[in-house]
Structure 1
Amino acid sequence: MAHHPIYFYDLDAPYGEFGNFYPAPIQLDGLTWSTTEQYFQAQKFVSHKKQYRHILELATPREAFDYARTHDSLKRSDWNDVKDDIMFKACLAKFQQHPKLKEILLSTGHRTLVEHTENDSYWADGGNGTGKNQLGITLMKIFYTKMKIFLTSIAFIVIALLSSSSSLAKTEIPRCIQKMMDGFNTTPRSSPYIRIDSYLYNGKITYYASSSCCDRFNPLFDGECKQICAPSGGFIGRGDGKCADFHESATQLENIWAVPRS
């Protein structure tokens, strides 16, 4: 189905461009890096010029990966604190500097991106879905928060534009979510919900229906409109135990629908 996850890993497979071994040179920190992998691995050795420069000059990303692993004892002490930001920086440069790759990322719509391999349980899904999929999450964050793929607006500015389903044509939204919005648009003043926003929660794209009053349930849906949980109490921080961490851990992506407050 259209909103099933996109899995990537092998360079010669669909969406292989999303991997860090893909040959897409980037300009960062005044230097040209053959791949995002080489930039990423070099940042482990910012205090060791010899190792840093050696990785820059290596011929392949695999060599960079192996070299960094064999010199792990020299790795910067704060690596676990900074590695996510470094990966974000490298991947952002890749998609900003290569228009064709940006188009491929744009084409993924609201689908969840997953690096699928048993070789990595941090950056990938571990092969069985138990991994953190941090690279996939990084790409989804770039898609939404930096590239401004869709028109993210304050709800009350775009109410008029959202009064018909045709106004949403540029945003790829799960069909069932679209149907839900169309139903709310017929009787907006009496609707129990005033807006629907997309969020990144537990590594997946989800849809949060905010209620018009703080004491209502605010359900969280997946791309098939299956209710995942209901973080109670809107944005005042209460939870029902099923996803009580939602407001603390989820990343808001965009407002996709809203009606005026009565």
Structure 2
Amino acid sequence: MHRIGNVTAFFGADDALSNWHPCRFTYHGVDFTSVEQLMMLSKAKLFADDMAAHQILATKDPMAQKMIGRKVKGFGLSLWESRRESIVFVGCREKFSQNPGLRTILLATAPTELVEASPYDLIWGIGLGERDSRVTDRRHWRGRNLLGITLMRVRDTLSRS
């Protein structure tokens, strides 16, 4: 994490806010090793790809999970877009509510704006790197920052409980 003014930028599996950060949590009786695993499993189940779902659960590597998730059979973009943010919200909520140390880290970012400073991701991130001076200026963002927005919703939810 890197705080610049009113922005907390994060990126990469070593960062506690990342979906790839290793952590353990359980949801509906399934044990997960990262939010990425829950996200990709949910994607496979949404499109009834049982083989992909099994493979995603069998690996602890977020990169491998993502690669399997990219090949989910029967994938439909509009259905995925309608569900992806609520899926990631649940994953992040469970991650941070079941891991007190991670919860403390997330809550300590308030009131800053959370920004996934991925230079590669234009959906979940902003398309700029963590050390890029333009991170604090939304006019320069190339991505939507859906993960940052979702994490701020989770932070708000957990701060009230």
1:89 equivalent to 2:90? Answer: yes
Describe the superposition over 1:194-226 as per-residue Cα deviations: whole angstroms up to 9, x where unpaired: xxxxxxxxxxxxxxxxxxxxxxxxxxxxxxxxx
- Aligned pairs (5 A) from 1:188-207: none
Task: Please state whether the residue corresponding to 2:16 is helix, strand or coil.
Answer: helix
Describe the superposition over 1:54-83 as per-residue Cα deviations: whole angstroms up to 9, x where unpaired: 1011130110001111x1443256211101
Is the contact between residue 122 and residue 131 of structure 1 (CA under 8 Å) also seen in structure 2?
yes
Task: Please state whether the residue corresponding to 1:147 is helix, strand or coil.
Answer: helix
1:10 equivalent to 2:22? Answer: no
Describe the superposition over 1:142-201 as per-residue Cα deviations: whole angstroms up to 9, x where unpaired: 111x11359xxxxxxxxxxxxxxxxxxxxxxxxxxxxxxxxxxxxxxxxxxxxxxxxxxx
1:147 equivalent to 2:158? Answer: yes
Describe the superposition over 1:36-59 as per-residue Cα deviations: whole angstroms up to 9, x where unpaired: 101101111111222112101113
| Structure 1 outlier segments of 4+, above 3 Å | none
Is the contact between residue 25 and residue 36 of structure 1 (CA under 8 Å) also seen in structure 2?
no
Task: Please state whether the residue corresponding to 2:9 is helix, strand or coil.
Answer: strand
Describe the superposition over 1:71-97 as per-residue Cα deviations: whole angstroms up to 9, x where unpaired: 144325621110110010000000000
Task: Please state whether the residue corresponding to 1:32 is helix, strand or coil.
Answer: strand
Structure 2 unmatched runs, 5+: 129-139
Counterpart in the other structure of 2:63: 62
1:43 equivalent to 2:42? Answer: yes
Q: CA, structure 1 residues 101+45, in 2 after alignment: closer, same or farther (shift >3 Å)?
A: same
Structure 1 unmatched runs, 5+: 151-262
Is the contact between residue 21 and residue 37 of structure 1 (CA under 8 Å) also seen in structure 2?
yes
1:10 Cα deviation (Å)? 2.5
1:130 Cα deviation (Å)? 2.2
Give, in whole Å, the separation in 2 of the partners of 1:2 and 1:122. 22
Identity of counterpart residues, as a percentage? 27
Name the one with the larger helix percent. Answer: 2
1:26 Cα deviation (Å)? 1.6
Give, in whole Å, the separation in 1 of the partners of 2:76 and 2:94. 23
- The structure with the largest alpha-carbon Rg is 1
Give, in whole Å, the separation in 1 of the partners of 2:28 and 2:49. 16
Give, in whole Å, the separation in 2 of the partners of 1:110 and 1:91. 18
Q: In structure 1, what residue type is equivalent to 2:29?
A: G
Give, in whole Å, the separation in 1 of the partners of 2:26 and 2:55. 17
- Aligned pairs (5 A) from 1:121-140: 121-127=122-128, 128-140=140-152
Name the one with the larger strand percent. Answer: 1
Task: Please state whether the residue corresponding to 2:26 is helix, strand or coil.
Answer: strand
Normalising by structure 2, what TM-score? Answer: 0.83
Give, in whole Å, the separation in 2 of the partners of 1:11 and 1:40. 15
Is the contact between residue 106 and residue 149 of structure 1 (CA under 8 Å) also seen in structure 2?
no
Task: Please state whether the residue corresponding to 1:75 is helix, strand or coil.
Answer: coil
1:120 Cα deviation (Å)? 0.6
Counterpart in the other structure of 1:26: 25
Q: In structure 2, what residue type is equivalent to 1:27?
A: T
Give, in whole Å, the separation in 2 of the partners of 1:116 and 1:40. 19
1:3 Cα deviation (Å)? 4.2
Relative contact order (alpha carbons < 8 A, sep ≥ 6): 1 or 2 greater? Answer: 2
